[in-house]
Amino acid sequence: MDAYQFLAEKNGCGGSATYRKVLEMLMTPRQAQVAAQLPAPLKDVATKLDIGLDQVKEEIRELFRKGVVFPKNFETMEGARFPTNPAQLLDFSLGSYLVQDIFGDRLFQVWGDFAQKEDSARLAKAFAKAEQPAARVLPAYKAIQGIPGVSQFDDVREILKAAILIATVPCSCRNLARKTDVILDSCLQFGRCAERAIVRGSGWKLSYKEALEIVDKAEDDGEVHMWDNVQTLTAVIMCNCEKEACRAWMPLRLYNVSVGKRAAKSRFEATVDQRLCDGCQVCVDRCQFDAIAMTKVPGCKRLKAMVDPEKCWGCGLCVIKCDPDAVTMKLVRPLEHIPLERPAHFEM
């Protein structure tokens, strides 16, 4: 068995010719041999492959830059490991400012073929089996200002303030979908994950103010904040999702799996004061959960917005663009709605 086949089987994709193409684009044959030996100490890799230790380190550095392996020690490259699943490899290889310069367009095409034609069914099945969603929707902070009972776990600003280190990287989903018409640098990474992005050059370090500016733009653009589904201010990544490009959202739609298997609702819910609604339908256009519809109200010539509570995930994107302030948020779930412990590990 050659190294490419070994790594494909390690990721559960041994029978996929397309996944092998991905690996062949990401790595030279020698680099694939090195990656197949990980997470062995680099000295042992050099001995096993009968090559110099310096060459092994150089290959690891290049694989790290490409987003194919990630070491524990960013200086010595020791403790490097290969991703455990295709989604992790896709995120690290495509979630980078370097990807276009290193690979050009062809990598996007091959990854796209694999993700759409082969991997969507696997992802849908994995989400469907989840007993508890690993992610939770965070409401747009401007939509919940002044509401009694808002906790620190509901407020994006508190999460950003708690972060020791913040970085932004391009959204791998939008890169994959070639959605260049929307913001790409909307994925926020924290702590060790942020450090990794900064060191390998795939992302940029942010101040609190700069991170909040990205959050503001994401909310204005109609992107949904996704955070760990647990009472914590410290996680490794905050996604700002747009369902037409989101690689986690698309399999749910294709295979009719509830979005609730991917993400829990926030503690809030949108509601409409139909006396103030002017029928502009902006809220309908901004709702990514199809929770708002225009309806006929007795005595009114114009259709008015109405929220379906079952479909509302409490993102608040409808609220922040409602000029007549007809749409507002209300707190409908207790703090206990957010688990105290993280759910069982979910691998995409």
**Containing domain of residue 260, as a range?**
132-264
For the stretch 169-226, pLDDT in tens is 998 888 888 776 655 677 999 999 999 999 999 999 999 999 999 999 999 999 999 9
Dihedral (CA of 227, 233, 235, 239) sign: positive
Q: Are residues 286 and 302 in the same domain?
A: yes
More confident residue, 298 or 267: 267
Residue ending a domain, among 105, 125, 145, is 125
Are 172 and 51 within 8 A, CB to CB? no
pLDDT of res. 329: 97
| pTM reported for the whole predicted model | 0.91
> Does the pLDDT of residue 320 top 90, yes or no?
yes
| Closest C-alpha among 277, 181, 171, 194 to residue 221 | 181
pLDDT of res. 348: 57
The three-state secondary structure class of 115 is helix
Q: Are residues 111 and 175 in the same domain?
A: no
Residues β-bridged to residue 187: 169
* Residue type, position 3, single letter: A
| Cis status, amide bond into 71, omega within 30 of 0 | no
Are 85 and 347 within 8 A, CB to CB? yes
What does the pLDDT average to over 97-113? 88
Name the token pair of 221: 């653009």
Residue 156 lies in a domain: yes
Under the banding of pLDDT at 50, 70 and 90, the label for residue 297 is confident
Residue 127 CB contacts under 8 Å (≥ 6 apart), including other chains: 248, 251, 252, 257, 261, 262
Strand 263-264 versus strand 135-138 pairing type: parallel
What does the pLDDT average to over 57-81? 95
E-assigned strand segments in 145-236: 166-169, 187-190, 204-206, 224-228
Q: Are residues 165 and 207 in the same domain?
A: yes
> Does the pLDDT of residue 98 top 90, yes or no?
no
Quote the number of domains for the chain.
Answer: 3
Under the banding of pLDDT at 50, 70 and 90, the label for residue 346 is low
Can you tell me the distance from the alpha carbon of 317 to that of 222, in angstroms, rounded to the nearest whole number? 6
Q: Are residues 168 and 234 in the same domain?
A: yes
Q: Are residues 60 and 155 in the same domain?
A: no
> Does the pLDDT of residue 57 top 70, yes or no?
yes
Where residue 15 sits, what CATH number does that domain have?
A: 1.10.10
Are 249 and 124 within 8 A, CB to CB? no
Where residue 311 sits, what CATH number does that domain have?
A: 3.30.70.20
Lowest average pLDDT, out of 14-18, 173-177, 211-215, 264-268, goes to: 173-177
Residue 343 lies in a domain: no
* Residue type, position 107, single letter: L
C-alpha separations of 122 from 89, 172, 345, 346 in Å: 15, 19, 16, 13
What does the pLDDT average to over 253-266? 92
Residue 338 lies in a domain: no
Under the banding of pLDDT at 50, 70 and 90, the label for residue 78 is very high
